[in-house]
Structure 1
Amino acid sequence: MDTEAVRSFVLAAEFGQLQHAADELGVTQQAVSKRIAALERELEARLFTRTARGVDLTHDGQAFLPHARSIVAGVDRAAAALRPGARPLRIDVLGLRSAQAVVLHDYWRSHPEIELDVVTLRVNDPRVAAAAVQTGEVDATFRSVLDPATLPRDVRMVHAFDSPLELLVGPRHPLAAASSLTPAELRKQRIWVPGIARESEWADFYDQLATTFDLRIDAAGPNFGNEVLFETLADSADVATLIGARDRYLWPAHHDLRRIPILNPALAYPLSLMYLGTNPHPALRDFLSHLATLAPAPAPSWHPTWATTPSHSGRKQPATWDT
């Protein structure tokens, strides 16, 4: 069904004049007449009768009018949803307690006038998230494609911020009293990170981390969620896990879990933001500026090989310690 023909019908019904409808649409009266005639043929119903004053709705026209108005309104809403600035900014985060969500919340608190949709795509493969950016399902996603050459056309990836890792342990763990730790002190410790997904950038991050610092990263078993993980840590004398310094987690006070910074070097998880370079949402530019103000990881710091530079240039930097 030709939506412009439906729009012409609605305006002609409201004005009672084909010429007035044509003036509103910026076309000729003949064009409006042809559109309505084509619509009547498609519906196999007569919608108007001509009068000396203009046109009147037939019984079929009266029955069709409320549905036609709904069609026109739906088309207008759909078009508005695709115009940057006419809809909320949609950004994908890995979880609502993740560092990405925390940074996004801090930005929104300082810019409450921004309409924002926080989305969780629940996909592990960053290429799927990149495709969601390309199709407009989201305006941006906090994901990293390890090889930028594989990004879809017009999708850009820039450095967002670094999330230094902390060791999370229960009160019975031998490292529980430490105020800070070095990567060397984590050797031979069981660091349990269940549910590391293949094809994800964090799988590669943990592989490089374990190889570089000779760490025991244990990804065995299914991921039953944070509550089960925290209960296990609280009851264990030998199990630890890694979390981001910006991550916001909650657990019962009686768990008495300890967050211990890892320094010399800090283990910096680099978070990237992917967005469509062509016609980005106006609010996204301001959010990118906000990301540039975030503090870097403590020096010295370690990054994986695919980390991009904080300058948002997209250039690679080696997996070395930054001093």
Structure 2
Amino acid sequence: MDLEAVRTFVAVAEAGQFQKAATDLSITQQAVSKRIAALERTLGVRLFTRAPRGAEPTIDGQAFLPHARELLRVEGRAIASVRPGHRPLRVDVIASRSAQSGLMRGFHRAHPEIDLDVMMLFDIETAVTAIRSGTIDASFRAVAAPGRPLPEDIESIRVLDEPLQLLTGPRHALAGARSVTLAQLTGHRIWMPGIAPGTEWGAYYDDLVAEFGLTIEATGPNFGSDVLLDTIADTPALATFMGEPTRLVWPAGHDLRRIPVIDPTPVYPHSLLWHRDNPHPALATLRTHLAATTADHDATGTWRPGWVTPR
């Protein structure tokens, strides 16, 4: 059904005259007549009768009028749903309890007027594909994994260096330490299920192991943070890494310890990725907010892989 013809029908019904509808629509009266005639052929009924005061809807026209108005309302909602600034800003944060999610919560508190859709994709290839197709507007990632530069149409900016801490149970050999050096972690088992080969975080921990001789185990299925915390609390031989901004809740009886890692402090670098032609106005607001609220990068006493270089 031709929506312009439907729009013309509503205009005539509301104006009561073909000429008045033509003026309202900025078209000729002849064009109005042609559109109404075409719509009547499509529907197989007459929509108007001529009257002394102009045009009046027939019984069929009266029945069709509320549906015609609803068609135009649906058209307006459909257009608004994809118009920049009229749909939510869609951002990928990898995990709900991550530092990235914390950054987006801060953005939402600062800009509650901006609608957000927060989603979680798995790897950087999936995220980049979604950015390029317009499925999402931005993604937080480590940029960029070795040998896999970002496509030329993807922009990025470093937004957060997340310090790693050691998380242990109360009976771990390092549980009483106020801080630990990376050298002190040599020989200790660091359990991190969920490190997947080929991901940017997999590349990060591969480099951390190679540089400092650590033992990181990714064995076993990843059953989520609750099982990870239960295991760390009950197993004196195991510890894990956790980002300093990450906020997890565990039973008081676990008595878990978060211990700063120093000399150097390994930091996980987060960058924001977006398509250079993305017109969503809230995307610029997000970039400005992150630039104003995140710390300096590559601070003295920190470590990150050499391939993590913002573009």
Letter of the 1:88 partner, please give it.
Answer: P
Structure 1 residue 86: Cα displacement = 2.7
- Alignment match of 1:138 (pick from 127, 133, 136): 136
Per the TM alignment, residue 228 of structure 1 is displaced from its structure 2 partner at its CA by 0.9
- Residue 256 to residue 277, structure 1, CA distance change in 2 (3 Å): same
Q: Quote how far apart the aligned CAs of 1:68 are.
A: 2.5
Match of 1:62, SS state, is helix
- Higher mean C-alpha deviation, range 44-53 or range 298-307: 44-53
Per the TM alignment, residue 229 of structure 1 is displaced from its structure 2 partner at its CA by 0.9
Worse overlay, 195-204 or 212-221 = 195-204
The Cα offsets for residues 44-76 of structure 1, whole Å up to 9 and x where unpaired, read as 333333334333223333333333222221221
Tell me which residue corresponds to 1:109: 109
Say yes or no: does 1:234 pair with 2:233. Answer: yes
What letter matches 1:9 in structure 2? F
| Matches for 1:1-323 after TM superposition, within 5 Å | 1-112=1-112, 114-121=113-120, 123-144=121-142, 146=145, 149-151=149-151, 154-293=153-292, 294-296=294-296, 298-309=299-310, 314=311
Cα offsets for 1:231-282 (capped at 9, x unmatched)? 1111110111111111121112221111112122121111111123225322
Q: Bigger relative contact order, structure 1 or 2, given CA contacts below 8 A and separation 6+?
A: 2
- SS of the residue aligned with 2:135? coil
Contact 1:193–1:242 (Cα < 8 Å) also in 2: yes
User: Which amino acid in structure 1 is aligned with residue 225 of structure 2?
Assistant: N
Q: Which moved more, 1:269-278 or 1:197-206?
A: 197-206
Q: TM-score, normalised by structure 1?
A: 0.85
Instruction: Kindly provide the amino acid, as one letter, of the partner of residue 51 in structure 1.
Output: A
| Residue identity opposite 1:300 in structure 2 | G
Amino acid at match of 1:103: L
Give unmatched runs, 5+ long, in structure 2.
none
The 3 A distance-change label for structure 1 pair 67 and 276 is farther
Amino acid at match of 2:133: T
Query: Aligned-pair distance for 1:171?
Result: 0.8
Kept in 1: contact 2:90–2:119 (CA 8 A): no
Separation in structure 1 between the aligned mates of residue 239 and residue 161 of structure 2, nearest angstrom: 22
Matching residue's letter, 2:64: F
Q: 1:34 to 1:258 in 2, by over 3 A?
A: farther
* 1:264/1:36 CA distance change after superposition, 3 Å: farther
Distance 1:188 1:45, change over 3 A: farther
Q: In the superposition, relative to structure 1, how do residues 71 and 304 fare at CA in structure 2: closer, same or farther (>3 Å)? A: farther
Cα distance in 2 for partners of 1:268, 1:278 equals 31
Go from structure 1 to structure 2 and tell me whether the alpha carbon gap of 1:236 and 1:184 turns closer, same or farther (over 3 Å shift): same
Cα contact 1:124–1:197 (8 A) shared by 2: no
CA contact (8 A) 1:264 1:299 kept: no
The AA in structure 2 aligned to 1:29 is: Q
Which whole-Å deviations, capped at 9, do the CAs of 1:19-56 have from their partners, x for residues lacking one?
33333333333333333333333333333333343332
Structure 1 stretch displaced more, 51-60 or 90-99 = 51-60
Aligned partners of 1:8 and 1:172: how far apart in 2? 78
Q: CA deviation at 1:150?
A: 4.5
Q: TM-score, normalised by structure 2?
A: 0.88
Task: Measure how far apart 1:199 and its partner are.
Answer: 4.0
Deviations 1:148-168 (A, max 9, x none): 7543x6432222211111111
